[in-house]
C-alpha cells in the first residue's frame, strides 16, 4: 500500500491544468525514483513560494514584493495602464519587452454563466487606480473571446466620462500564419481593418 499521502498527491496533481489521474500517477512514480533531486526540493520550493509569493496590492499580479517590481519601477510610464485577464497574460506581454507602462490584472472575465460579477474581478479597484494614477491611456488587452469582449465593453462603460483614451489590441492575421488555416472571423476582421502599404 502506498498510503494516504500518495493518493493525496495524485488527487492534487490531477486537478492541475493538463494533468489527468493517469499522468499524475506517472509523475509521482517519476518523483519517487528521484526523491533527493526532485521530490524533496519540489516540496521545499512549493512551501517557500507559497509563503513568499503574494498578489501585488496595486496591480494584483504575483510577486515576492508588494507593490510588485513593475508597479515599484520608476522607469515605467505611469500614464499608461494595460488591463489583462490574468498573470499569464501579463507575462506574455512582458516577454515582448515592448510595453513600458503599468498593468492591472482583473483575475478573470465577466461571465453570467459562471456567476462572475464585476465585484468578483478587480474592476472597482481599477476605477480607483485610474483616478489615482491619472492614467492617460487605458489599453484593454483581454482575450478576443465573447467573455473577454463583454468585459472590455463593461469596462469601457465604467470609464466613460473620464478624460482617458481607451484602446484595445489590434485584430488581424497573426504573424507567420497561413491564411488558409485562419478562421473566417479573423479574416473578415483583417480585411475590414486593412491598412495602406
Residue ranges binding its own copies (CB under 8 A): 1-3, 5-6, 8-9, 12-13, 15-19, 23, 25-32, 35, 38-50, 52-53, 62-65, 69, 86-88, 91
Torsion sign over Cα 156, 157, 158, 162: positive
Cβ 165 to its own copies shortest distance, Å: 30
Partners of 104 in beta bridges: 83
Least Å from the CB of residue 89 to its own copies = 11
- The nearer residue to its own copies, 64 or 117, going by C-beta atoms, is 64
What does 128-189 look like in DSSP terms, one character per residue? HHHHHHT-SEEEE---SSHHHHHHHHHHHHHHTTSS-EEEE---SPPTT--GGGS-HHHHHH
13, 20, 85, 196 from 16: Cα distances, Å = 5, 8, 19, 46
The smaller minimum CB distance to its own copies, of residues 29 and 187, is found at 29
DSSP state for residue 78 in the 8-state scheme: E
The nearest distance, CB 106 to its own copies, in angstroms, is 13
Q: Residue 78 contacts by C-beta under 8 Å, 6 or more apart in sequence?
A: 101, 102, 133
Residue of 132, 121, 193, 142 whose CA lies nearest to 164: 132
Residue 47 CB, nearest approach to its own copies (Å): 4
- Rounded to a whole number of angstroms, the minimum distance from the CB of residue 3 to its own copies is 4
CB of 52 to its own copies, least distance (A): 6
How does strand 137-140 pair with strand 165-168? parallel
Q: In terms of CB distance, is 46 or 146 closer to its own copies?
A: 46
Amino acid at each position: 500500500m502506498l498510503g494516504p499521502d500518495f493518493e493525496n498527491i495524485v488527487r492534487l496533481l490531477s486537478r492541475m491544468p493538463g494533468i489527468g489521474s493517469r499522468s499524475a500517477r506517472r509523475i509521482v512514480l517519476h518523483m519517487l525514483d528521484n526523491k533527493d533531486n526532485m521530490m524533496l526540493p519540489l516540496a521545499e520550493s512549493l512551501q517557500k513560494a507559497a509563503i513568499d509569493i503574494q498578489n501585488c496590492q496595486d496591480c494584483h499580479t504575483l510577486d515576492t514584493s508588494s507593490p510588485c517590481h513593475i508597479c515599484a519601477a520608476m522607469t515605467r510610464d505611469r500614464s499608461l495602464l494595460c488591463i489583462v485577464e490574468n498573470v499569464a497574460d501579463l507575462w506574455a506581454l512582458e516577454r515582448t519587452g515592448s510595453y513600458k507602462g503599468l498593468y492591472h490584472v482583473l483575475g478573470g472575465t465577466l461571465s453570467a454563466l459562471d456567476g462572475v460579477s464585476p465585484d468578483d474581478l478587480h474592476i472597482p479597484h481599477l476605477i480607483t487606480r485610474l483616478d489615482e494614477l491619472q492614467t492617460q491611456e487605458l489599453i484593454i488587452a483581454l482575450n478576443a473571446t465573447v467573455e473577454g469582449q463583454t468585459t472590455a465593453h463593461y469596462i469601457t462603460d465604467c470609464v466613460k466620462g473620464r478624460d482617458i483614451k481607451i484602446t484595445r489590441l489590434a485584430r488581424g492575421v497573426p504573424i507567420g500564419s497561413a491564411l488558409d488555416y485562419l478562421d473566417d472571423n479573423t479574416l473578415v476582421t483583417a480585411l475590414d481593418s486593412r491598412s495602406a502599404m
